[in-house]
Amino acid sequence: MSRTASPVAGDDPRRRIPRTDALLALDEVERAKQRLGEERVRDVVRDMQSRARAGAIAPEEVEGAVIAALESVHACAFTPVLNATGVIVHTNLGRAPLSPQAINALEAAAGYVDVEFDLATGLRGKRGVSTREALLKACPAAQDALAVNNGAAALSLIATALAGPGSGKRREIVLSRGEMIEIGAGFRLTELIESTGPVIHEVGTTNRTHLADYEKALGENTAALLKIHASNYVIKGFTSAVGIAELADLAHAHDLPLIVDIGSGLFSPEPLLPDEPTLTEALEQGADLVLASGDKLVGGPQAGLILGKKEWVERVARHPLARAMRADKLLLAALEATVGGPTPPVLEALHTDPDALKARTERLADVVSERTNEPCEVVPHDGRVGGGGGAEVPIPGWALSVPERLATELRSLEQPVVATTRDGVCLVDLRCIPESEDDSLASAIAALLTR
């Protein structure tokens, strides 16, 4: 062996760092290569070798460190986290966690599938038929249904199809000033609608809009009436708004369609969220087109659901822009599995029994204080639906109260835990965390507290 190849002195421990090909030949590493591809695995190997060269780990630890690191590497850069915020539909954390059924459907749809193919005839089939059927079964009040990429796409597609270029002079969509919403990241629904050509005809005021305001706005330029559910704020005090039934009567008296954006997309009423509209109610009250997100309270993948009267859904589906917002096979598969499946995780989290949550949190507190010899407090902590709906509605619950510094440390764990801070403490809310994680969470918190 050539000494000149290595600048390292003979007794230098760095000589004992395992070679790349030896590490790549390990069984565990071979298996990781199947899952992640050679490049990502080589990156991990190089990283651990250089840590050893820098003296951060001993040469003897390299093998174990590579294997351990590979276990937590994923084929994409996303890091799965535990949501300890108590916010159920957390947009920054990917909104709805999928049900096991939806995950299974994603796997089934990952390869070649008959998404647009008729196996009986061997000819081209209609796309997404089974997803449409699942939506119609979940919402019998709808005559037709279409899934697109997300709620914003649904709104923009509907507006463009009904009032965009090609609609002649009928370019106006009538909307109350109380419903001009900015959703996350500075996006305004009114700007979204107008971006393809329709014009918003604002009526009423921020706090009060009356039927007469809508009546006055209608004319030969009107294409449609729009009602948007204020999903992330409430207007309280001296207020008044026009309900869907009244608006539908007005729209139909003028041969116009009523579009209703309900935001969150509940199929049936939710006793814990009495002010949250449902797709079914909106249609029963006379809306012609109702739209909602698939990944808020529906609990499925990111999707935009469009349900309603056949003639309007067909008109929307036929518009050229529909092709640009077409749902992919993964969305269609996961949505069908969610809509046709058991209660999704978001609704499970919403319905968590406060007493059961308290008992679970107390068990966590007991384990932590037993290991740290420090008392650990369980405090009342309201959960929230999140940006996805139920604005301002507290969902009674509990949280473990730990020192504030833990918020940062919990986020840097191998499996990061995202918790909130309030009044100088860090609150760990178990509402959105699978119970199977409790033991490892208790160990992690105890380890951080005794560090």
Ligand X SMILES: *Cc1c(COP(=O)(O)O)cnc(C)c1O
Residues interacting with ligand X, by CB under 6 A?
150-152, 155, 181, 183, 189, 228-229, 231, 261, 263, 293, 304
Residue 18 or residue 388: which is nearer to ligand X going by CB?
388
Q: Least separation, in Å, of the C-beta of 218 and ligand X?
A: 23
CB of 154 to ligand X, least distance (A): 8
CA distance 109 to 115: 8
Strand (E) or helix (H) holding 433: none
Separation of alpha carbons 365 and 375, rounded Å: 8
Please say which residue, 189 or 332, places its beta carbon nearer to ligand X. 189
Its sign, for the CA torsion 12, 14, 16, 21, is negative
Q: Residue 144: which H helix or E strand, with range?
A: strand 144-148
Q: Give backbone dihedrals phi and psi of 138, rounded to 5 degrees, phi first.
A: -75, -20
Residue 221: what are its φ and ψ, rounded to 5°? Answer: -95, -5
Residues 120, 129 contacting (CB under 8 angstroms): no
CB closer to ligand X, 276 vs 288: 276
Q: Report in angstroms how near the CB of residue 182 gets to ligand X at its nearest.
A: 10
96/250 with CB nearer ligand X: 96
How far apart (Å, rounded) are the C-alpha atoms in residues 301 and 297? 11
CA–CA dist 36, 167 (Å, integer): 50
Residue 298 or 400 with smaller CB distance to ligand X:
298
Tokens 């740290």 belong to residue: 372
72, with CB counted inside 10 A (0-12, 13-18, 19+), is: exposed
Cβ-based nearer residue to ligand X, 151 or 286? 151
Under 8 Å CB-to-CB from 395, ≥6 apart: which residues? Answer: 86, 88, 272, 350, 382, 383, 384, 385, 431
Q: How far apart are CA 234 and CA 238, in angstroms?
A: 12
| Residue with Cβ nearer ligand X (242 or 406) | 242
Least separation in angstroms between residue 181's CB and ligand X is 6
Closest distance to ligand X from the beta carbon of 68 (Å)? 37
Whole-number minimum distance, CB 155 to ligand X, in Å? 6
Distance in Å, CB of 95 to ligand X, minimum: 8
Identify which of residues 187 and 353 has a Cβ nearer to ligand X in the complex.
Answer: 187
CB of 391 to ligand X, least distance (A): 9
Asked if residue 90 lies in contact with residue 390, where contact means CB atoms within 8 angstroms, the answer is: no
